[in-house]
Structures are given as C-alpha cells and as structure tokens.
Structure 1
Amino acid sequence: MKPRSLMFTLYGEYIQHYGGEIWVGSLIQLMNQFGVSESSVRGAILRMVQSHLLQVRKIGNKSYYSVTPQGGRRVDDGVKRVYAAPSQTWDGEWRILMYSFPEEKRDLRNEIRKELNWTGFGMISNSTWVSPNPLEKQVLDMITTYKIEDYTMLFSSSTIVSHDDQSVIDKGWDLGKIADEYGIFIDKYSPKFDELREKALNNSLTDLECYIERTQIVHEYRKFLFQDPGFPRDLLPKNWPGMKARELFWNIHQLVSIPAVRFFESVFEPAPDKEIQPERHKAINPFQEVYV
C-alpha cells in the first residue's frame, strides 16, 4: 500500500467519523499494521501537507492532522463513489469539460487530468473530457478550488452530431480492460469471503484482523475509482462484472465492519481540546448512511 493512498482510505473510512483529526502517533500505529514504517508515514504526511491535502495543529509536543478543504473534497468524493449504488438510467446528457492551459501551467494541467480521471471523466481528446454522470457540482467545485475559471469551460449536451453515444464511450474508456480488472478482484476476494465467513461462524475473527481486512478491501476497491467511470446501468454491457464485485465488496465489508471499528477506536487519540461525538453508525455502515 502506498502511504498517501492508505491515508485517504483511513480518513474516509474512519477518521472523518471521529472529528476528522487524529494524533500522528495514532496514524502511525494504524498504518504500521500494513507494514508502513514510521519514517514512511511521516514522509507521506510532509508531502501531503506541502500539497495542501493535510494540515497540522500543534498542541504541546504533539501534532494532530486533518484534511484541508482540497483533501476533504477528495475524501468525500471517494466515499460517495465507493458506497453509492449506480443509477439505473441515464438522463441522456453528456457533461463536457474543455480546458486550455499555458505551457508554464503544465503541472496544474496534469493535476486537473488526475482529478477528472478520479471523478469518472473520460478523455476523448487532449483537452476535452466527457461524462454521462451528473457531475456538474463536483466539476465546478474543482474549478473553484484550483482557481482555473480562466482556463476551463463546462458544457452539457444531449446531442452529438458526428458520433453515436457508444462511439463516445469507446473513445473515452476501455470497458473491456475494466471488466478484466473486476474479474481479478472477484477471483481474489470470493475465497476470502468464504474464509472470513467461516471464521465469523466459529467466533475466531479478531478486531485487528477485521480492521486489516476491511481497510485492505476498501483500499483495493478504491482503485476502481481511477478506472470505472460509474456509468448508469443502461450504458453498461450485459452481465457487467462490476455488479458482482460490488456485491462481494459489500458482503465482506459488512462482515468485518463492527470489529474493525472497535480496533480503530482502541488506537485513535483525538486532540485534547476537542469534544468528539463519534458518528460510529456511519463508520460501521456507510452504505446505509451515504446512500439509502
């Protein structure tokens, strides 16, 4: 696990439901369970602070970290996309973002490309990205966050004159490759689910084991946010394996969630000047809380 990606998983799955801020010592202990050394954790934190994704508060000789508005938007978008059920029907509208950055802003342009890819947009030319999903608010928030109003323009259209909708999909995404990746996920986690269910029946699952399993499967499933655009079902091929992968993810997540949260609570240390009212029910069952 890359430390930065693991940190996003921890903030989305656990920390945000406990006030959104955590002592660095707790964060180190949580990440140590996945073989991430203290020096690697601190290095990742420093880079994320420099990238304006994390911010720090000092209280005495202790440091407490929370996500910035920019980092928080990434966490919130990730949580919503991981746990949201796909829409059944497409509204017939394409959302089209065009941009033009001067060469001296190429680093910013590359960052915007990563953001669009993360959000589920597909690139149909070097400066034109499209999505069939209602992502206007997320894109406008991104434009405001990065202050790129002068370099971008967002459209929506229900008509493409030169091509049909399937041609746009084929140009912007490789659904065959995504389906193959879902197949790998299913092959890996189907026997894992059987193993965990057997242990649960025998009452031999530990809180630490559940924390590791839950965090790992969320971490693995989050990777699809960079690949799968989350199309409405009527734009997907028949027997789309993403549906089976999602059900498998849900089953494992629910099996291990309560003990996983217990382990997190045993390690978590908030700032002493904050009165934390944990949203424990959301940490245990984000499927129900985020999207009913």
Structure 2
Amino acid sequence: MAFVTAAPPAVIERLAQPRHLIVTLYGLRGLDGRQAGRWFSVAALVRLLADLGIDEAAVRSSVSRLKRRGMLIAEKVGGAAGYALSEPAEHLLDEGDQRIFALPRPSVRDGWILAVFSVPESERDRRHTLRTQLSRLGFGTVSPGVWIAPAHLRTSATDLVARLELTPYVEFFSADYLNDADLTSKIGQWWDMERLHDSYADFLAGSQPVWRRWARRRTATDQEAFADYVPILTQWRRLPYLDPGLPAQVLPADWNGAKAAELFGTIRERLEKPARRHLETTVSLQGEPWSARPTRS
C-alpha cells in the first residue's frame, strides 16, 4: 500500500491542540452510547491529558474555553467536580461520528442538493453563520446564494437550517448536472479540492510513522495505544467535515482521501480498543461515582 507524504511527521502533534484533544476524549468515550460516557471529572481529564503530554494548566484553560463556547457544562457528580457535554455538543458529536467513521461515496447518478438562500443585510451575522455551517457540512459554492452538495446530505442540511431558525430564507432543490462541461473541472471550482487533497496528505505524513511503529510491534500497553491513537483521531475528526463525500467518478485518480481513509481504518482497528481501555481504566482510578445524580452549575 503506497501513501503520499507531503508534510513532516510532527504535523499531528502540531495540530492537536488541548481543546481539540478534550473533545476527542468525549467523543471516544461516548461511542458505546452510555450516558455516563459524556461526563468527565476534572481529575480524570487532567490525568488523561497528561498521558498526551499536556500539563494541568493547559487542560484547565482549555476546559474553560470550551465552557465559554457552550460545548461543556459544569456538573458535580457525587461531590466530584467535572464537565458534561452540552446538548448541542452531544448532537454535534453524534452527527459527526456518522461522517468520521463512515463517510459515504455516492454515485453521480444519486444527484445533488441545491441550497438557494437570501438572508437580509440586516441579519448579515446570521448569513455568515449559515455560510460557515453549510461549508462545514460539505457544501460547495456555485454562486454567493447558491450552494451545492451531494444528495446524501439533504437531511443533514435541512436539519441544520431548522436548528439555525433560517428556514424562511432557504430553499432546497434536488438537482442533476445537465451541462456538457466536464463535471470534474466544475467540482474544482465549487470546492477547494487542492486544500482538501493537501490536508489528507498532511494526515498521511503524520500518521504513517505511527503505523509503521505499530506494524512492527507484537506487544504494547494500552497507555501507548491511547497516546498514539487520540492525536491521530483528533486530526482525522476534522477531515470528513472538510470532505463533502463526492462521488468517486469526479475525484482524481491519485486522490489522497481514499489513501488516508484506508490508513485511518487500519490504525483504528488496531488501536481503538486498547486506547478506550486505557481511558476507562484511568477514569475508574479517579473514582468517578456514576450512581450519584449530577448537579449542574
């Protein structure tokens, strides 16, 4: 299996900021669907981030920032201080898991969805939010008020607009591309494919050395798996959001996204279970009292 290398191995460490690592921990723990998995004591977060080379001051500063942004809510469980995911953050992570671990690759025959909108100048802040969120969801720009995405994003797009309370300003249409022009060239106009290609190359460059080490290992500790897997998962989490999941027919033959997805899947298969075991063991050692009723502040 050949991989494209276009960045130094340190790219993973450079991109993995403490607040991003913290969000990854909440996502990793919530994979089993347990409600308790969306709360951490402060002590557990400090201990887990220490295993990733982050000091306590940086952890507490990052938690405070996430709280200000509405991602985390302070809760006490059995007298232990900690933080739970807010409801919007839970929704974001649950929705994200569907893309992070199984980004679809539809066919051109599946069609497209168009979002046509006109938000008044008096509400330009909400217009900016709409554009930002559509882009994050995977939409490309045909023109300032006409955005396009693969048809499989229809439900996610309509749900997004409803949550933003912008439904009166947005019309959705199902569409087929009927022009004779090469669709692949149009894709390059509507989405920044070069940037996405390079982002996948960065992921490959940072993750390859990690996988090479693990491919040679016969035994390793859960803590070692945790220390390697969480930064890789943290970088990977952002890539499927940048990638709209375009049909394979319109992607270049040397598309880094396919290579990156294959590598991530291989790493995940080897490291996720021991990484989660280390997480749960560390949490247990902090004595988190799950039977108590949480108290929010």
TM norm. shorter chain > 0.5: yes
What's the counterpart of residue 9 of structure 1? 24
Q: How many residues align?
A: 272
Cα shift at 1:61: 4.1
Cα shift at 1:189: 2.5
Query: Which AA in structure 1 matches 2:232?
Result: I
Deviations 1:89-134 (A, max 9, x none): 2344221123333445444333333322222111233333211141
What's the counterpart of residue 51 of structure 2? 33
Q: What does residue range 182-261 of structure 1 map to in structure 2 within 5 Å?
A: 182-199=200-217, 201=218, 203=219, 205-261=220-276
Counterpart-to-counterpart distance in 1, 2:134 and 2:81: 32
* More displaced 10-residue stretch of structure 1: 140-149 or 101-110: 101-110
Q: What does residue range 147-166 of structure 1 map to in structure 2 within 5 Å?
A: 147-159=165-177, 165-166=183-184
Structure 2 CA distance for partners of 1:43 and 1:246, relative to 1, 3 Å:
same
107, 129, 140: which one aligns with 1:111: 129
* More displaced 10-residue stretch of structure 1: 41-50 or 4-13: 41-50
Tell me, yes or no, if the aligned pair for 2:78 and 2:289 is still in contact at 8 Å: no
What's the counterpart of residue 140 of structure 2? 122
Matched, 1:101 2:119: yes
Counterpart-to-counterpart distance in 2, 1:260 and 1:70: 26
Q: Percent identity?
A: 28
- For normalisation by structure 2, the TM-score amounts to 0.79
Counterpart-to-counterpart distance in 1, 2:129 and 2:50: 29
What's the counterpart of residue 72 of structure 2? 54
Structure 2 CA distance for partners of 1:53 and 1:157, relative to 1, 3 Å:
same
Deviations 1:217-252 (A, max 9, x none): 111222323432221222322242221211111111
* More displaced 10-residue stretch of structure 1: 82-91 or 189-198: 82-91
Tell me, yes or no, if the aligned pair for 1:12 and 1:78 is still in contact at 8 Å: no
Cα shift at 1:215: 0.7
The Cα RMSD (Å) is: 2.7
The SS at the match of 1:243 is: helix
The SS at the match of 2:148 is: strand
Counterpart-to-counterpart distance in 2, 1:181 and 1:258: 26
Counterpart-to-counterpart distance in 1, 2:100 and 2:243: 11
Tell me, yes or no, if the aligned pair for 1:118 and 1:225 is still in contact at 8 Å: no
Deviations 1:239-277 (A, max 9, x none): 4222121111111121222221121011225553369xx
Counterpart-to-counterpart distance in 1, 2:137 and 2:149: 9
Query: Which AA in structure 2 matches 1:75?
Result: L
Cα shift at 1:186: 2.4
Tell me, yes or no, if the aligned pair for 1:100 and 1:151 is still in contact at 8 Å: yes
Runs of 4+ in structure 1 over 4 Å off: 159-164
Structure 2 CA distance for partners of 1:2 and 1:186, relative to 1, 3 Å:
closer
Counterpart-to-counterpart distance in 1, 2:168 and 2:134: 17
94, 102, 126: which one aligns with 1:84: 102
Counterpart-to-counterpart distance in 1, 2:292 and 2:169: 41
Structure 2 CA distance for partners of 1:38 and 1:146, relative to 1, 3 Å:
farther
Counterpart-to-counterpart distance in 1, 2:25 and 2:189: 34
What's the counterpart of residue 74 of structure 1? 92
Tell me, yes or no, if the aligned pair for 1:133 and 1:232 is still in contact at 8 Å: no
Tell me, yes or no, if the aligned pair for 2:77 and 2:292 is still in contact at 8 Å: no
Extract unaligned runs of 5+ from structure 2. Answer: 1-15
